[in-house]
Structure 1
């Protein structure tokens, strides 16, 4: 069948969890179906991804993401608010992308149009009279994400903006989703949350995953290895910023009281000034890196001290696939089918987080236990091949209904 995917960013290079998810699903779906993609170019470096994606996509259409300030867009933001739409969504409106999508639809008839949830309004921009089934892909429940971000934001203007978007998204998101034939979410928790808001929705769980063939377990670190801790994330994203600030101020000092040579590595693109300011002898801020494997090799433990956000963490699955145990908050591992003490360690206070990290650094038996169980979990439940098959089963059910 012919499938059109509409995304808020080009999924290659794979520089974020969202891109990794879209890329791995798209590539596998394209092995069995004819797939076209329409997406924004977030930066100049994204252009290199077009040629790569054209290797397995029938068409790839892009538009430059507008970097105009929110102040310049105030009239449009107010119009969206008066129409009952979350103002934040107006920032993703592009006449250029709309025209290119309509051109694609005029050139071929699609069986499925799949749209990332933040781009959901493009459903109303598609040409009338075309017959296709539509699916909205939720990587997280956006209203919940905005609400949590507002709780950790320090600047009053950002806090106010995220609070407004949490309120408007909470009303609009589940209602607009009813325009789609199907919706997908990444966890059973998100499915229940979405259907509680709108019981009429037909919602499927298509979880996040990891490439278990590409990411093979790394050698176990020697007992003499430096006790280095790793956090990987988009360091311009407020929940990730809050996580590393919280860890450095409240958790790392407790760890260093008993493990005085402990290091902390912060790996991820677009670090905010307050993150860059953390860089010192025992805290390393790398910015964007070409390859994350060397940092997993250097660091025997991954930490996920998130106190906000939504969806599920691809980096936890990646760490488990690579044989690196994880210490996480409850929010950090939310939505994953993990058990505390079996697949990872969960800690929600600074004292607990420090204690469990230290224990993992010192207890080799526990370390091996988590490594083995974590790898078994991703192999049995979170491989991209089986996840893509679940998505294609949804396609089959939708088109079977039509037939």
Structure 2
């Protein structure tokens, strides 16, 4: 098989946040099919410093690498976007150096497929493309900005509405020229098909590392002082991400007063709004060394997202750790599991509070939900199973010919 050029908006290592988890497993899987060359951005020097570990993890299958620290700020990107009429999501990640690397890679004659991870990276794929072009949108980002525009205060409501409109036009044009376009769930894929009328749209879901996220695995346990007394209600995630901020703020305001226990918000970079929630019944941890430590101690994991796209890794991780999960419909969307057996889905504040209270007073029921959750993950969510369709999308008919 010819070489693959993998483009990513963040260095796909370590797999310690949602977008990196998927990109890492995609990259590793593709490296099992062919030699892979990588062009990506890094958030800062510390992020870029993960390259040696990435090379060691992939081995000889990783070829040429271009990595650069992204220095364009959101305000600057927004002004450029207004000036040139493009989505801000593209100007935020633009780079002449990365474009040059792509041109040189294609000129080598080795590249049979360009695999672009996240919509921002499609701008680096030439049109027409001399190689097969597989676009992993992951989520329909334009729909996310459209959702933001409905609730944000002015003037951000206008900003988000403009981004939704411009980004959708770019997503549609990209999918129209790609050989295959991927989304993280069938719900996202179906939404895109419905809005664009395009073919070649596929769903490849996220998986879960079942050996890592296993309640029986070896990992640090919380000290008794950290565990505290009473039930732990846990939310995990990147805590400067707007949908996560909205979720914990809503939960603290509308649901926590109706239930017992301590609400623990675990995740890096808590926004000022999140830090302000800390108090007698709410703990904001910031970054933790191993999220499994908190997951193992949680009585219930909550996912009260009101704005969500694609698959929520936080839900998969909690289920793999055999924790009972109470999730909103938005957080549950795209997950192949049975509500009421594998997790609890509640569609408003009162029903979520009732579901949590019912589990807290019935530990046997909570244990059964957690056990069913783990079984569902083991049955359907191993990464190899989830990513098996990639081979035919990269080189159609190659396996049949072999």
2:35 matched residue in structure 1:
34
Give the Å deviation of 1:398: 7.0
1:16 matched residue in structure 2:
17
User: TM-score of the superposition, structure 1-length normalised?
Assistant: 0.89
Distance in 2 (alpha carbons) for counterparts of 1:378 and 1:396 = 29
- 1:246 partnered with 2:250: yes
- 1:115 partnered with 2:113: no
1:375 matched residue in structure 2:
374
Total equivalences in the alignment: 388
Gaps of 5+ in 2: 223-227
Runs of 4+ in 1 over 4 A off after TM superposition: 398-403
Distance in 1 (alpha carbons) for counterparts of 2:373 and 2:150 = 31
1:396 matched residue in structure 2:
395
| SS in structure 2 at match of 1:201 | coil
| SS in structure 2 at match of 1:138 | strand
1:78 matched residue in structure 2:
82
Matches within 5 A, 1:96-135: 96-116=97-117, 117-124=119-126, 131-135=130-134
| SS in structure 2 at match of 1:332 | helix
Q: Verify the 8 A CA contact 2:33 2:391 in the aligned structure 1.
A: no
Distance in 2 (alpha carbons) for counterparts of 1:298 and 1:359 = 19
Distance in 2 (alpha carbons) for counterparts of 1:340 and 1:193 = 22
Give the Å deviation of 1:225: 6.5
Q: Verify the 8 A CA contact 1:185 1:204 in the aligned structure 2.
A: yes
Q: Which moved more, 1:137-146 or 1:386-395?
A: 386-395
Distance in 2 (alpha carbons) for counterparts of 1:108 and 1:43 = 32
Distance in 1 (alpha carbons) for counterparts of 2:76 and 2:51 = 31
Give the Å deviation of 1:269: 1.7
Q: 1:171 aligns with which of 169, 172, 178?
A: 169
| SS in structure 1 at match of 2:283 | strand
Q: 1:62 aligns with which of 58, 67, 72?
A: 67
Distance in 2 (alpha carbons) for counterparts of 1:187 and 1:173 = 17
Give the Å deviation of 1:122: 1.2
Higher RCO by CA contacts (8 Å cutoff, separation 6 or greater)? 1
- Alpha-carbon distance change, 113 to 398 in structure 1, aligned in 2, over 3 angstroms: farther
Q: Verify the 8 A CA contact 1:150 1:159 in the aligned structure 2.
A: yes
Deviations 1:268-301 (A, max 9, x none): 1221111111112221111222211111122121
Q: Which moved more, 1:157-166 or 1:376-385?
A: 157-166
Q: 2:154 aligns with which of 147, 153, 156?
A: 156
- Alpha-carbon distance change, 73 to 149 in structure 1, aligned in 2, over 3 angstroms: closer
Distance in 2 (alpha carbons) for counterparts of 1:108 and 1:398 = 22
User: TM-score of the superposition, structure 2-length normalised?
Assistant: 0.90
Matches within 5 A, 1:4-403: 4-55=5-56, 56=58, 57-71=62-76, 74=79, 76-81=80-85, 85-116=86-117, 117-124=119-126, 131-153=130-152, 155-218=153-216, 226-255=230-259, 259=260, 262-397=261-396
**Cα root mean square deviation, aligned:** 2.5
Distance in 1 (alpha carbons) for counterparts of 2:34 and 2:300 = 40
Give the Å deviation of 1:218: 4.8
Distance in 2 (alpha carbons) for counterparts of 1:137 and 1:41 = 19
Q: Verify the 8 A CA contact 1:304 1:329 in the aligned structure 2.
A: yes
Distance in 2 (alpha carbons) for counterparts of 1:104 and 1:40 = 17
Give the Å deviation of 1:108: 5.0
Q: Which moved more, 1:298-307 or 1:359-368?
A: 359-368
Q: Which moved more, 1:310-319 or 1:22-31?
A: 22-31
Gaps of 5+ in 1: none
Give the Å deviation of 1:399: 6.4
